[in-house]
Amino acid sequence: MENNIRVRFAPSPTGALHIGGVRTALYNYLFARKTGGTMVLRIEDTDQTRYVPGAEAYIQEALDWAGIQLDESPWTGGPYGPYRQSERKEQYLAYAQQLIEAGHAYYAFDTPEELEAMRERLWAARVANPQYDSLSRMQMKNSLTLSQEEVAARISSGEPYVIRFKMPRKEEVRLHDIIRGWVMVHTATLDDKVLMKSDGWPTYHLANVVDDYLMKITHVIRGEEWLPSAPLHVLLYKALGWEAHMPKFAHLPLILKPDGNGKLSKRDAEKQGFPIFPLEWIDPLSNEKVAGFREEGYLPEATVNFLAFLGWSPGTNDELFTMEELIEIFSLERIGKAGTKFDIDKAKWYNQYYLRKRPDAELAGMLQEQLDKLEVGYEAEMVHKVALEIKERAVFPKDLWKDGAVYFIRPARYDQDVAAKKWNAEAQNIISQFAQAVEDDAQALTAERAKDLLQQVLDKNNVKIGRVMQAVRLALTGVGSGPDLMNMIEIIGREETVLRLRQAVHHLHVTP
């Protein structure tokens, strides 16, 4: 380890990991690798009521798919484990008590109903900032207002309590964010956040600060939604006496919905028909299914490249980078401040580029996979030729099948619009003669030879090629568009070509 840079990605296992989470993980990873630091993953599962089975496995699989490697995690282990907050539960209370002893926190016994009543009262009194804070806490039931004896009695009697942070009344909190610069907040606007819940678990704020400290995290790179609570975290570091070990912060811009405004949500994905999750996910509780980048045919390298540029740019005109290259040029300072709209067209463009970059054999394999799945018969050699023929047209692996199907399956019907426009007596005549010529020909049926034969027929009948090509296409494929026809003839072979041409002549009728 050349230096001590340590970053963490700290997801909560409450469902499928959002694509924004993948980006956060990616930025952490790029920064860690770039600086020779360490990438840590910590599971933040302090809310027992929100735990969703399978979510943790999903996180692991999604990061693995994206190529984001973890140096320390629940799965890889590491010197600062355990890496699940649920497995570190015992430690948090002691830190909360340390804060109480130092006068930075206190016990509170208010019931949910009493809290609600307080908010309503404050609201009715038109208090600018109705919350449990330095102003209102003296009206509440806590160790600041109750006698020491009563507090002790309540606790020993088993009455539920929380521990709240005692927000200073008048203090200016300054925090430096790598992306945003200095951010100043006055403590008078902040509330007394709960640190320990009545169920004995810590809240995010406490657990996060304690674990980041214990795990020696040097840079906290997380979403912008955490910015408002960052001042609290700074105060926590100070109150715990860890100011010297406070990590640097970088709050990432949010990923917004493509149209209109607001955070990208599951609803947008459904409405617009594109995924916003890395992997497909079926919610174990609702059985609801959401689409994943992987299942939709997005390649990991395309997804990573796309995600990297959602809020960051290298400052040059280049935008095609592999993970290795991203690591080379990434820097926190070049992350933008403004929210970023999710542009699926750009993702498709990346996908097309990376799909084409895959070796031909791999593309053939993708096509073969789909043929197998659909139980379509084929010869291995032909699959390779077809893949080569259609790779330029594909954005997703599934397009390989979409455009490749005509090579493997004889047309069962013919596009009527194309037939009406292009199929006529002249074309039918030429195609009949062409079929015969192909059948009678003794030479190997290459694309070139096929073209020669067609040209000979055309010359004999004094017809220009443009007048019949669409009809030939219709005869061979049943549709009006597709890849090069002569190459197709070479690929499907003499017998199939003749068969298809004659079938078309037989089935298609000339409209008078």
Q: Which residues are catalytic?
A: 266
Establish if 224 lies at the interface with RNA (CB under 7 A). Answer: yes
Q: Which long-range contacts (CB under 8 A, 24 or more apart) does 419-424 make?
A: 419/474, 419/508, 420/511, 421/470, 422/470, 422/471, 422/474, 422/480, 423/471, 423/474, 423/508, 423/510, 423/511, 424/471, 424/510, 424/511
- For residues 390 and 98, give the distance between their C-alpha atoms in angstroms, rounded to a whole number: 67
> Exactly one of 317, 361, 442, 506 binds RNA (CB under 7 A); which one?
317
Of the ranges 136-144, 145-153, 260-268, 373-381, which one interacts with RNA (CB under 7 A)? Answer: 260-268
> Exactly one of 121, 289, 337, 402 binds RNA (CB under 7 A); which one?
337
Would you say 266 is a known binding-site residue? yes
- State the minimum distance, in angstroms, from the CB of residue 5 to RNA: 22
Q: How many CA atoms lie within 13 A of 144 on its CB side?
A: 22
Residue number with CB closer to RNA (372 or 484): 484
Of the ranges 99-107, 191-199, 241-249, 360-368, which one interacts with RNA (CB under 7 A)? Answer: 191-199
Establish if 197 lies at the interface with RNA (CB under 7 A). Answer: yes
Establish if 125 lies at the interface with RNA (CB under 7 A). Answer: no
Residues 199-218 that bind RNA (CB under 7 A): 199, 201-204
Site string for RNA, 42-61 (x = CB under 7 A): --x-xx--x-----------
Site string for RNA, 486-505 (x = CB under 7 A): xx------------------
Residue number with CB closer to RNA (36 or 57): 57
Site string for RNA, 343-362 (x = CB under 7 A): x-xx-xx-------------
- State the minimum distance, in angstroms, from the CB of residue 2 to RNA: 26
Which of 259, 260, 293, 288 lies closest to 274 in space, CA to CA?
293
Q: What is the DSSP string of 131-184?
A: SSSTTTGGGSSBTTTS-HHHHHHHHHTT---EEEE---SS-EEEEEETTTEEEE
Residue number with CB closer to RNA (8 or 33): 8
> Exactly one of 3, 4, 91, 111 binds RNA (CB under 7 A); which one?
111
What contacts 439, CB < 8 A, 6 or more positions away? 494, 498
Residues 139-168 that bind RNA (CB under 7 A): 160, 162
Cα–Cα distances in angstroms (integers) from residue 468 to residues 238, 415, 475, 485, in the given order: 82, 16, 11, 12
CB–CB of 141/193 below 8 Å?
Answer: no
Within 248-343, where are the H helices? Answer: 266-272, 293-296, 300-308, 323-329
- State the minimum distance, in angstroms, from the CB of residue 129 to RNA: 4
Residue numbering of the annotated binding site for ATP: 266
